[in-house]
């Protein structure tokens, strides 16, 4: 409560500023949950939310294949997508005279001001669930669904163990199986012992692995996306059915 009280105080103080043309009303924005990637620096926000909450104009130049966000031309490596294709941008790359981004060392949140809008971009924890019944994996950051993909888990006699795990400690782009004739296991993220979430060229819509969680390498390349997004020590729940937490988020959509 203290952090939000302090923030509201800042918003109140900044609610009206005076320039050459008279008072300017500063509009408080809704809190936005930011997105982070294990393999990239920065905090990402969907472009549509940036426009809606902070009043920032976004233009796409088809010739140069670059975004102009506010007054800043943003390089392509600062723009990524969520797994569903939603474009997201690194807010740290938008810093300019018209777009202020400041880290609150205590809360870990980012205070953002555009001169007309003021708000917070938080950085919630990542968490992952694998539903053995539906053969799907979902990755979340806070309440935001980052990715949803089919998987193929352990077949009869080689069941994927149900339980609560954390990602790692092993994480490897080019792992091979020492148990199954050096079978490739690209984009491997360890669950425990010899059980991994990894990419595979064979991901049927049913349990077919020797215990690992297979992810597609085709299409959006879920295996690569998951590998690049998930942090070591992120909680991963393997269960039959989704948790009540997931059900609650689904009900909100």
**pLDDT digits 0-9 by tens, 200-209:** 999 999 999 9
When pLDDT is cut at 50, 70 and 90, the band that residue 161 belongs to is very high
- Whether 10 is covered by a domain: the verdict is no
Does residue 16 have a pLDDT over 70? no
Question: Domain boundary at 75, 93, 122, which?
Answer: 122
Does residue 154 have a pLDDT over 50? yes
Which of 102-111, 133-142, 226-235 has the lowest average pLDDT? 102-111
- CB of 71 closer than 8 Å to CB of 96: yes
Q: Do 230 and 116 fall within a single domain?
A: no
**pLDDT digits 0-9 by tens, 84-123:** 999 999 999 999 888 999 999 999 999 999 988 999 999 9
- At 41, list the tokens: 């620096």
Residue-range definition of the domain harbouring residue 46: 15-122
Q: What's the number of domains the chain is made of?
A: 2
- Whether 8 is covered by a domain: the verdict is no
- Whether 4 is covered by a domain: the verdict is no
Residue/partner pairs of 70-78 with CB below 8 Å, 24 or more apart: 70/94, 70/96, 70/98, 70/99, 70/114, 71/96, 71/97, 71/98, 71/99, 72/96, 72/99, 78/42
Does residue 234 have a pLDDT over 50? yes
Q: For residues 56-76, give the mean pLDDT.
A: 86
pTM of the model: 0.88
């Amino acid at each position: 409560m203290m952090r939000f009280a302090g923030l509201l105080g800042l918003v109140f103080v900044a609610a009206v500023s005076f320039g050459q043309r008279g008072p300017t009303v500063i509009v408080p924005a809704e809190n936005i949950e930011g997105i982070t990637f294990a393999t990239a620096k920065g905090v990402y926000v969907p472009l549509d939310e940036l426009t809606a909450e902070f009043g920032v104009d976004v233009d796409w130049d088809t010739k140069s294949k670059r975004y102009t966000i506010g007054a800043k031309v943003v390089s392509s490596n600062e723009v990524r997508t969520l797994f569903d294709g939603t474009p997201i941008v690194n807010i740290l790359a938008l810093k300019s005279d018209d777009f202020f981004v400041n880290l609150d060392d205590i809360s870990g949140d980012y205070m953002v001001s555009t001169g007309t809008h003021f708000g917070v971009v938080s950085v919630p924890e990542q968490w992952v669930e694998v539903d053995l019944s539906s053969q799907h994996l979902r990755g979340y950051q806070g309440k935001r669904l980052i990715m949803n993909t089919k998987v193929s888990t352990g077949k009869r006699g080689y069941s994927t163990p149900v339980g609560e795990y954390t990602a790692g400690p092993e994480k490897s782009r080019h792992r091979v199986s020492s148990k199954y004739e050096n079978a490739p296991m690209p984009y491997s993220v360890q669950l425990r012992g010899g059980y991994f979430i990894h990419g595979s060229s064979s991901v049927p819509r049913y349990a077919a692995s020797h215990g690992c969680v297979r992810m597609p390498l085709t299409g959006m390349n879920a295996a690569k996306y998951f590998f690049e997004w998930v942090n070591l020590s992120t909680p991963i729940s393997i269960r039959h059915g989704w948790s009540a937490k997931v059900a609650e988020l689904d009900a909100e959509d």
